[in-house]
């Protein structure tokens, strides 16, 4: 390939297409000429949304569902809305690339309409935050954006293009739209671990009587679930996951003990707390996953496997640290593992399974409850049974994260699970982005009503672009995760008036959905859930399932 005289717009459109980008998410108007070139020269769908934050969340859902960078864009006045939306991607290590319009050297500091210096706001939510001020820099900066987004621990990148709408894309230079296909998805490389460290890790696991694996989002980023489950089976090791790593092992696997940490399942916390060895794989072992470093306790014998050297030992002192790609490392460990040592852990596996059975017994009555208004536990149990075997499940935070993290089980290795890393309102737009990335797979977003209100306007985007995701709204007419906190703030029991701080009108979201052109299904009785879900999964439009649940139902708090 040789350089030819072309516009930045053409280079950008051609490069995004060559990197395999199928959708971009934005609020206009930014990079207008690039969008015109996309239409003329590529198949890329230009999804314009009702807010920049939703666009960023859609790009994030797209990225987490596909492993490919998700692209979102905004003009200068929308840039900080976009930056706000990158925060969850940053916390979740999701490869999102954000393009914004930026300042002209000729006019900056003169009170240009709508303009501030946006660049600093992107600093805490990106791995690379850069400006593109000369059109001949388009090719190398776009390559660097992709390279950084997917490499090592993935994460967001921001490029600010000169001109409030990125008008620099109209300029010409001699350019070559060269792309590096290896950086079009996560992971670009699979670094081999030091084999002696693998040997040491396997030796420690084989000598342990009560080991447990804690699998995180790095396992899903690496596509290492199969190797993880194989190693657990060969050595007889129970597996807990972080919320971000929930799809590392199906919930019905005999070695699965559930999600550990704060938004967790009691069985997982109990097993991890009693382990004599914890093997962290692809997790930072942060506050959410360890219930603020109480589960397991700091000082437990620990192994950690990660692609990022700086993560190794950050939160738990380690006996063995292994630097490498999760899938490659687990495959090497599998080659070294001695299956005959499994008998040593038979009692421990029995104990772990008994702990799981106790958990099921404890929650059986609420999971089977026919109460009206419905128990959220019953809704989760119904979703475990009804969600298709190849679905992508996208879950909001707060109680949504607690209910689904703790009570819902994946039933098949082909099911995927993605969760908000803390931002209320993330799941609905992220689910739409996931559906764009995987149009042939069922996508099910789960959110509370407070979470759904944030970006409710995106129902229209879903209808307009035929993004046929199914969104389940756990509708209790309030943000009831806040209830416990306000009880405490009022010294035990809050006043009746305090409820105005966290309750909303009880609205029929199915009516709103129908009005906008989606399918709306309202469910008030537990018995109607299964047929409603069957209808939802066969609809050829976006679906909102509005499930009315009990506002007094509180998710169980973590056990330490």
Query: Under the rule (CB under 6 A), what is the footprint of ligand TPP?
Result: 397-400, 422-424, 448-451, 474, 476, 478-482
Q: What minimum distance in Å lies between the beta carbon of 408 and ligand TPP? A: 14
Q: Which of Mg ion, ligand TPP, none sits in contact with 301, Cβ below 5 to 8 A by type?
A: none
Q: What minimum distance in Å lies between the beta carbon of 551 and Mg ion? A: 7
Q: How far apart are CA 366 and CA 25, in angstroms?
A: 40
Give whichever of 242 and 256 is closer to ligand TPP, judged by the CB atom: 242
Length of the chain: 560
Q: How far apart are CA 187 and CA 203, in angstroms?
A: 28
Give whichever of 122 and 509 is closer to Mg ion, judged by the CB atom: 509
546 binds Mg ion (CB under 5 A): no
Q: How far apart are CA 54 and CA 78, in angstroms?
A: 12
Q: What minimum distance in Å lies between the beta carbon of 476 and ligand TPP? A: 5
Phi/psi of residue 406, nearest 5 degrees: -90, -35
Q: What minimum distance in Å lies between the beta carbon of 10 and Mg ion? A: 47
Nearest-CB residue for Mg ion:
448
Picking from 424, 425, 414, the residue whose alpha carbon sits closest to that of residue 392 is 414
Q: What minimum distance in Å lies between the beta carbon of 470 and ligand TPP? A: 17
427-437 helix and 52-66 helix, angle to the nearest 10 degrees: 50
Give whichever of 236 and 398 is closer to ligand TPP, judged by the CB atom: 398
Give whichever of 325 and 449 is closer to ligand TPP, judged by the CB atom: 449
Give the interface segment with Mg ion, choosing from 64-72, 104-112, 206-214, 440-448 (CB under 5 A): 440-448
Q: Which of ligand TPP, Mg ion, none sits in contact with 100, Cβ below 5 to 8 A by type?
A: none
CA atoms within 13 A on the CB side of 60: 35
Determine whether 110 is exposed, middle or buried from the number of CB atoms within 10 Å of its CB (0-12, 13-18, 19+): exposed
| DSSP assignment letter at 163 | B
Q: What minimum distance in Å lies between the beta carbon of 396 and ligand TPP? A: 6
Give the interface segment with Mg ion, choosing from 136-144, 261-269, 374-382, 470-478 (CB under 5 A): 470-478
Q: What minimum distance in Å lies between the beta carbon of 479 and Mg ion? A: 5
Give whichever of 53 and 332 is closer to ligand TPP, judged by the CB atom: 53
Q: How far apart are CA 444 and CA 463, in angstroms?
A: 16
Token pair for 483: 């209830």
Give whichever of 64 and 87 is closer to ligand TPP, judged by the CB atom: 87
Give whichever of 25 and 452 is closer to ligand TPP, judged by the CB atom: 452
476 binds Mg ion (CB under 5 A): yes
Query: Residues 69, 85, 156, 448: which binds Mg ion (CB under 5 A)?
Result: 448
Picking from 325, 89, 93, 337, the residue whose alpha carbon sits closest to that of residue 223 is 325
Give whichever of 304 and 474 is closer to ligand TPP, judged by the CB atom: 474
Query: Residues 37, 382, 449, 546: which binds Mg ion (CB under 5 A)?
Result: 449
For residues 357-380, one letter each, b for 16 or more C-beta atoms within 10 angstroms of the residue's C-beta and e for the rest, the string is eebeeebeebbebeeebbbbbbbb
Which residues contact residue 150 at a Cβ distance below 8 angstroms, ignoring those fewer than 6 apart?
Answer: 69, 95, 183, 184, 185, 186, 187, 188
- Residue the block writes with tokens 């990225």: 63
**Number of chain residues interacting with Mg ion (CB under 5 A):** 3
Give whichever of 348 and 446 is closer to ligand TPP, judged by the CB atom: 446
Q: Which residues pair with 72 in a beta bridge?
A: 25, 98
Q: What minimum distance in Å lies between the beta carbon of 507 and Mg ion? A: 11
Determine whether 256 is exposed, middle or buried from the number of CB atoms within 10 Å of its CB (0-12, 13-18, 19+): buried
Q: What minimum distance in Å lies between the beta carbon of 268 and ligand TPP? A: 21
Q: Which of Mg ion, ligand TPP, none sits in contact with 423, Cβ below 5 to 8 A by type?
A: ligand TPP
542 binds Mg ion (CB under 5 A): no
Q: Which residues pair with 419 in a beta bridge?
A: 395
How is 454-488 classified by DSSP, letter by letter?
HTTTHHHHHHHTT---EEEEEE-SB-TTHHHHHHH
Give whichever of 166 and 478 is closer to ligand TPP, judged by the CB atom: 478
Give the interface segment with Mg ion, choosing from 61-69, 347-355, 369-377, 474-482 (CB under 5 A): 474-482
By the 8 A CB rule, do 449 and 476 touch? yes
Give the interface segment with Mg ion, choosing from 191-199, 438-446, 449-457, 539-547 (CB under 5 A): 449-457
What is the distance, to the nearest Å, from the Cα of residue 284 to the centroid of all Cα atoms in its chain?
15
Binding site for Mg ion (CB under 5 A): 448-449, 476
């Amino acid at each position: 390939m040789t350089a030819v005289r072309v516009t930045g717009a053409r280079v950008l459109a051609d490069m995004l297409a060559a990197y395999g980008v199928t959708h971009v998410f934005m609020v206009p108007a930014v990079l207008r000429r690039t969008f015109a070139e996309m239409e003329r020269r590529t198949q890329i769908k230009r999804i314009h949304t009702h807010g920049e934050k939703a666009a960023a969340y859609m790009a994030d859902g797209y990225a987490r569902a596909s492993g490919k960078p998700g692209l979102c864009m905004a003009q200068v006045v929308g840039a900080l809305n976009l930056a706000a939306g990158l925060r969850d991607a940053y916390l979740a290590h999701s490869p999102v690339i954000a393009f914004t319009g930026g300042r002209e050297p000729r006019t900056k500091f003169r009170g240009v309409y709508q303009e501030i210096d946006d660049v600093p706001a992107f600093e805490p939510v990106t791995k690379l935050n850069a400006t593109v001020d000369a059109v001949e820099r388009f090719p190398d900066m776009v390559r660097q954006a992709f390279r950084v987004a997917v490499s090592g621990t993935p994460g967001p990148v921001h490029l600010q293009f000169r001109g409030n709408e990125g008008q620099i894309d109209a300029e010409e230079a001699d350019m070559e739209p060269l792309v590096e296909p290896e950086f079009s998805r996560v992971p670009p490389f699979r670094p081999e671990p030091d084999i002696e460290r693998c040997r040491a890790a396997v030796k420690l696991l084989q000598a342990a009587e009560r080991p447990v694996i804690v699998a995180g989002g790095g396992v899903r980023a690496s596509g290492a679930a199969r190797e993880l489950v194989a190693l657990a089976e060969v050595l007889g090791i129970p597996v807990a996951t972080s919320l971000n790593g929930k799809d590392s092992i199906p919930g019905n696997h005999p070695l699965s003990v559930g999600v550990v940490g704060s938004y967790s399942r009691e069985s997982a916390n109990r097993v991890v707390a009693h382990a004599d060895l914890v093997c962290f794989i692809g997790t930072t072992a942060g506050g959410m996953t360890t219930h603020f470093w109480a589960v397991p306790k700091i000082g437990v014998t620990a192994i950690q496997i990660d692609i990022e050297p700086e993560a190794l030992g950050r939160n738990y002192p380690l006996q063995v640290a292994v630097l490498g790609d999760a899938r490659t490392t687990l495959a090497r460990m599998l080659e070294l593992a001695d299956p005959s040592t499994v008998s040593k852990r038979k009692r421990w596996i029995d104990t772990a399974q008994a702990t799981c059975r106790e958990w099921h017994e404890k929650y059986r009555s609420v999971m089977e409850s026919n109460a009206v208004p419905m128990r959220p536990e019953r809704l989760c149990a119904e979703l475990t049974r009804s969600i298709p075997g190849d679905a992508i499940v996208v879950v909001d935070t707060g109680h949504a994260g607690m209910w689904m993290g703790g009570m819902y089980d994946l039933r098949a290795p082909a099911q995927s699970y993605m969760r908000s890393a803390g931002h209320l309102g993330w799941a609905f737009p992220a689910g739409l982005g996931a559906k764009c990335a995987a149009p042939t797979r069922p996508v099910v977003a789960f959110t509370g009503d407070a979470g759904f209100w944030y970006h409710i306007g995106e129902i229209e985007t879903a209808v307009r672009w035929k993004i046929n995701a199914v969104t389940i709204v756990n509708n209790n007419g309030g943000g009831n995760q806040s209830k416990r906190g306000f009880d405490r703030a009022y010294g035990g029991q809050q006043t009746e008036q305090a409820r105005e701080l966290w309750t909303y009108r009880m609205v029929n979201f199915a009516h709103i959905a129908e009005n906008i052109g989606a399918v709306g299904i309202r469910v008030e009785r537990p018995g109607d859930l299964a047929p409603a879900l069957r209808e939802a999964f066969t609809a050829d439009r976006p679906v909102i399932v509005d499930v009315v649940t009990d506002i007094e139902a509180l998710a169980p708090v973590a056990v330490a």
